Amino acid sequence: MSSVPPDQRPLEPVRIGVVSVSDRASSGVYVDKGLPALQDWLGRAVRNPIEWVPRLIPDERPLIGATLQALVDDERCDLVLTTGGTGPAPRDITPDATRDVADREMPGFGEQMRQISLRFVPTAILSRQTAVIRKQALILNLPGQPKSIAETLEGLKDAQGASVVPGIFAAVPYCIDLLGGPWVDTDPAVCAAFRPKTAVRTR
């Protein structure tokens, strides 16, 4: 057993699945922007080494569910983020497919994403973004636009850099703690992780 205190040990790798759900991008009609946006923001925010597991798939409910299930059950991802397919249109079925594979729903994430987006457009209320837990992993449905992805993860800041509306990612590391995953550290200049004072790194 290591004699080095846990808070002085190197951070464990975190395994992150990123899924872009788009009929047209997956068929090559246009270049997918969802996966690069997710990886760019997370790469700046998370201090742990990241093991990426990317997927680009069409808006097909069985395929989305099977992809999420495989990322958690087979790939052993600690965190899975999807982008796209969260509106009210008939082909927007990412939240439905996400619930299909859920053990428990975490509705607070969707509520906060809509609060952030409503600062910009009233149509944000049409979003059906949600989050669920499957086994050891947290699955988050994010919007499809790169700008909106960053806003919902990071939150909104004023001209002096002070937080105006917290982003959802501030709560993600502690959620992963509670699920038995690695201790995820973040760069506070991008998004400061919030943990209660009783939360202690043990490995």
pLDDT digits (tens, 9 = 90+) for 47-92: 999 999 999 999 999 999 999 999 999 999 999 999 999 999 999 9
The pTM for the full model equals 0.94
Query: Quick one: 147 exposed, middle or buried, by C-beta within 10 A (0-12, 13-18, 19+)?
Result: exposed
**Amino acid in position 19:** V
| Beta-carbon-side half-sphere exposure of residue 102 (alpha carbons within 13 Å) | 19
Mean pLDDT of the chain: 94
Mean pLDDT of 163-174: 93
Q: Is residue 162 over pLDDT 90?
A: no
CATH topology for the 12-178 domain: Molybdenum Cofactor Biosythetic Enzyme; Chain A (3.40.980)
